[in-house]
Every structure is written in C-alpha cells, then in structure tokens.
Structure 1
Amino acid sequence: MKDRYANLRRIRTQDPERDYLEIYQTMVRREFPWDSKLGLNLAFNRSFSLPRVAALHVATGELLRHTRKRVDDTGLLMYEMLLHGFDHPRGRESVRRINQIHHRYDIADEDYRYVLGCLVVVPIRWLGRYGWRAPCCHERAAAYHYYRQLGRRMGIDDIPGSYDEFAAWFDAYDAAQLRFSPQAARIEQATRALLRGRLPRPLAPVGDALVTAMYDDRLRAATGLTAAPVAVRVGLHVGLRLRAGLLRWAARPRRQPLFADGIRTPTYPDGYRISDLGPAGQ
C-alpha cells in the first residue's frame, strides 16, 4: 500500500506561516476531506447559534427561507478561497463578495472574531477526536494562519496571535456568550437537514439523533435540544473511531483531491458566478 503518511512528512518540512495555504489545502482536499467538510458544517452551526448572530439570521430570513441556497453559497465562497488562495482573482472576488454581503449589518467585532474562531477551532478538534490521525502542530498552525489571513481581509481586529491563543479566547467567549435563544433553535432546525445529508444513507432512520449526538452540551443547550439516547451517542463514537482505524490501516491515500473536477452543489447544477452568490440585491 502506498505510504499513508507521505503527506504528513511533507507537511512537517514546511513553514506553516509561509506555506499555510498549501498545508491547509492538503488537509482539506487530501488527508481529511469528509471530516473537514463535516467539521466546517459543525463550525457554521455553532456560529449560527450565538444569540446575536442567530437573531440577525432570523431578522434577514435568508437562512430560514432559502436554507439550501444560503448554505451552498457560503460553502462555495469558502471553497473558492481554499482552492485558489486569497491572492488569486477568484479568491479576491470571493473575499470581496463576503464583505459586500456583511457590510450592511451592524455586527460586533467580537462576534466576527467568534465566527472566525469557530472555523479555526471546531474542525481541528473534530479531527483530533475522529480523524484517521490527529492534526499535527504544523496543520493546526496552518489552519490558524489561513483564517487569520481571511480575518485580516475582512477587517476583523484583535485576532489572537496563535492557534493556542485563539482556542483559549474561543473557549472563554463560547462559555460566556453561547446560551439558549429561540432564534438559535429556529436556525438549528432549519439547517440540521444539511448535516443529516452528510451521514451514510443506511443511518437515515436515526439521522436526527446522530446530528444531536454530534453537538456538545453547550451547543445543545443553546439550541434547546436534549441529549441523544445513550445508545446513539455511544454508537456514534464507536462507529467514528472504527472508521478512523480502518482509514488509518486499510485505506489508500486519496488519488484525486477533493473538488478536482470543480465544486458541485444542488443549488447550481450548471455552474455559478461568484458575483451571484449570496442574497439577491446585495
């Protein structure tokens, strides 16, 4: 079998501050494609549950009325930047579009920082628990530097100075601010179908319980959910750990990177323009 750790060895020779894009691309597109996409879904679900962010989404109505399109648009903008980098024309256009969408709203600086922290911390912690291997220090640092660059281009101030500092800030803000709101409960109900869609089809009958089992106690409380049955929580944990072991010892390294043939979404089966992503008229 081809060397399972070849990408990791290469990553360890790179500089996370300089080579953050290549390292992060390797993580998401080759080493952990399914887990990275799920981790980013969980990150956005958590950010949507912050009371002020949830209230804004309910007020605009976009995430409730056009859930699939709103989530697809967000994913496309994120993956355009990942595929091309921030200095590529498509990367620059994606950042510009993100800023156009958000500039009309009065969003607190610390809430922007929290959303950025979700993108940095939540997927890395998911990989640490359920990836076929844990992310190394270079990968954690590269993820931090990637999103730090995005934050700078969005005008987000006072971004903590390292992954560990950001994780500590995120945990403190999460503990202080993530609490129940009826708006967060509405947003979670609207978006959970998309997380269910990440699950293998044979698990569809218990999909709702499995999604709830992916949330920690604080996120469940913020969205008004009770804990999933013990059997579901244990089954999810054991199943994901078994999957990680099979990927580590029996799977081949990915031959084609994620999105090698372009990004496909249900909303845009025939393609899309970056300028059309997001709410109409913005």
Structure 2
Amino acid sequence: MRDRYANLARIRSLDPERDHLAIYQTMLRREFCWDLRLGLNLAFNRSFSIPEIAAVHTATGELTRRTRKRIDDTGLLMYEMVLNGFDHPRGRSALRRVNQIHRPYGIGNDHYRYVLGCLVVIPTRWIDRYGWRRTCCHEQRATHTFYRKLGRRMGITDIPETYQEFAAWFDAYDAAQLRPNDDAAAIERATRGLLLGRLPRPLAPIGDALVAALYDDRLRAATRVATPAWPVRAGLHAGLRIRAWLLRRVGRPRTEPLFANGVISTRTYPDGYTIDQLGPADTPTRQRPVDDAATPGGPDPD
C-alpha cells in the first residue's frame, strides 16, 4: 500500500511553484491518467458552451463540421505543452500555434479567463470527487501555476493569484454567463459522439443518458440536454466511486507513464503529425484591432 502513495510523497517533496510542470506531468501521466483526461474533455465542453464562445465556434464550423479533427487538435496542442513545457521547442511551437489560432477572434479577456478557469477547476473537482484520492494542495497550486503561465503567454490578464481565488471567480462567472443557447446545443450534439465512443459496448443503449449524467444541471440547461433519470445518475455515481475505491485499495502506480515514448496517437493523425498541421487550415484575419501585449492570442513566445 505504501507504493500506492509513492508519487504523492514525491510531489509533496517538490516546490509547487518552481516544479509545477513536473507535478502536473505526474498527475497526467501517472496518478490520474483517465480522470484528468476526462476532466479536460469536460472542461473544454463547458468552455464551448458560453454563448459568445459557442457562437464563434458554430460560425467557423470547426466543432460542428470537423468535430474529430478539432477535438484531436485541441488535445494534441495541450498535451504538447504539458509534455514538453513552454521552453522546449515543441512546447513553444504548440503555444505559438495556439496564439495563431485564437488571435483573429474578438473574444474578450473575461471569456478567455473563463476558458482557462475551466481547465484549472473542472478537472481538479472531477478528481476530488471521482479520483482514487483527492488532489493535495501542491497539486492544486501546480495546476494553477501551469495554467496561469499559459494564460500570461496568451496575453490573458487579471488571472487570479491562487487556485482558491480562481475557483471562486470561476463559479461566479459561470453562474452569470453559462446560459441556454442554440449554439452550445449544436456543439454538444456534435461532440457527444466522441464521448459515446469511450463507453464500453454493453453500456451503448444508455450512452446518451450516461453522457448527460456527466454534466451538471447548469451545463445541461445551457446545452439543452434533458436531465437523465435518477437511476442512471445514481448508477454512474456509484460506479465511479466503486472504481475509485478499487484503485485506492488494490491499485498500484503506473510503471510506465502515459505517452512514454513521447508519441500521442489520435484517429485524425494515425501516422503522426507536425504542429503546424494542428488547427484550422486557414487562419482568418483579425476581426478587430487588438493590442498584442495585453489581449488573448497576443504575443507569440520568442
């Protein structure tokens, strides 16, 4: 049982500010591989549902007509930055590509900050509820630090200084801005199939209800998804808690980290990819003038 907490002991020996990347990499690649990846999926799903952000995505068609590629590209860019950090050539290239993709759109700083908050808060809360153990303060601080640094490199301003402050800001903004809208509903319908594809085949008949049960009431309302029957919600909750108990009692740390060979495989790129392939083929011109030094999608990393 002592080995089960070996990674946690190592994390607690590190500085969550200086060693934030190593801690976050351990969370993704060794401690919470499935939970953190699912949490990130749910985070992006929620961020796409804010009316103004949803409208941009439906206008481009990237999420509704080229769903698989758009989701794969987003994941690959994120994992490239996590696996390599912002100072590695591949991490720098991924960050530059993220800025290139986002620069043309006139989305306000608060909306960008909300997307960043989704990536910080949603996966952490998922792990705390359904992971084999809760996150420790070092992991929360390291997660916040990683995304704060990402946000600053994207030109996002006024990022809360601590995880707790960011979570409080996120909750208030989410309550005020996440409203029912047709664009979010269209995106949810398009992306739902990707979540359904992760379910075991025996659960396929109730797949739609299980996916809906992953959402909370506010997200279901925003995306116009019906609340599933309570047995489905209760069954999903119980199944996830049983999984967590089994992992805690009989599980062992991974002997080989996720993406051990440095290769991230996706259906879109079965033979590999280059970072400049990720994202829309044609990046539109800016919709309005912006100040690169202080606007999301601003300065490229040099």
Q: In 1, distance between residues paired with 2:103 and 2:45?
A: 21
Structure 1 position 32 matched with structure 2 position 32:
yes
| 1:40 Cα offset (Å) | 0.3
Write the distance in 2 (CA, Å) between the matches of 1:175 and 1:120. 17
CA contact (8 A) 1:2 1:253 kept: no
Task: Give the match for residue 225 of structure 1.
Answer: 225
1:271 equivalent in structure 2: 272
Please report how far the alpha carbon of residue 207 of structure 1 lies from its aligned counterpart in structure 2 after TM superposition.
1.2
Residue 195 of structure 1 and its aligned partner are, at CA, apart by 1.5
Matched, 1:175 2:175: yes
**Alpha-carbon deviation of 1:2?**
6.5
Quick one: percent identity of the two aligned structures?
Answer: 70
Q: Distance in 1 between matches of 2:176 and 2:213?
A: 23
Corresponding letter in the other structure for 1:116: L
Q: Post-superposition shift, 1:281?
A: 2.0
Contact 1:28/1:36 (8 A) holds in 2: yes
Instruction: Find the aligned partners of 1:209 and 1:38 in 2 and give their Cα distance.
Output: 17
Name the counterpart of 1:76. 76
Judge conservation of contact 1:124–1:135 (CA < 8 Å) in 2.
Answer: yes
Q: Distance in 1 between matches of 2:203 and 2:255?
A: 27
Q: Distance in 2 between matches of 1:144 and 1:211?
A: 27
> How far, CA to CA, are the matches of 2:76 and 2:201 in structure 1?
24
Residue 185 of structure 1 corresponds to 185
Q: For the Cα contact (< 8 Å) 1:113–1:159, is it kept in 2?
A: yes
Unaligned segments of structure 1, at least 5 residues: none
Say which SS state the counterpart of residue 170 (structure 2) adopts. Answer: helix
Code of the residue aligned with 2:29 in structure 1: it is R
Distance 2:252 2:10 in 1: 17
- Counterparts of 1:69 and 1:2 in 2: how far apart (Å)? 42
- In 2, are the aligned partners of 1:118 and 1:170 still within 8 Å (CA)? yes
Residue-by-residue CA offset, 1:142-182 (whole Å, 9 max, x unaligned): 00000001001100000001000000000000000000000
Indicate the residue corresponding to 2:138 in structure 1: 138
Amino acid at match of 1:271: G
Task: Give a deviation string over 1:193-220, Cα, whole Å, max 9, x none.
Answer: 1122232332222111111001001000
After TM superposition, the score normalised by the length of structure 2 is 0.92
Letter in 1 for 2:275: I
In structure 2, stretches of 5+ residues that fail to align are 284-302
User: Size of the alignment, in residue pairs?
Assistant: 282
Q: Distance in 1 between matches of 2:126 and 2:139?
A: 13
Question: In structure 2, how many angstroms separate the alpha carbons of the residues matched to 1:171 and 1:79?
Answer: 26
Q: For 1:205 and 1:263, locate their aligned partners in 2 and report how far apart those are by CA, in whole Å.
A: 30
Root-mean-square deviation over aligned CA pairs: 0.9
How far apart in 2 are the matches of 1:197 and 1:5?
32
CA deviations over 1:76-133 (Å, ceiling 9, x no partner)? 0000001101110000000000000011111110000000000000000000000000
Retained in 2: the 8 A contact 1:38–1:198? Answer: no
**TM-score (ref. length: structure 1):** 0.98
- Equivalent position of 1:248 in the other structure: 248
**Residues 2 and 252 in structure 1, CA contact (< 8 A), matched pair in contact too:** no
Contact 1:212 1:220 in 2 (8 A): yes
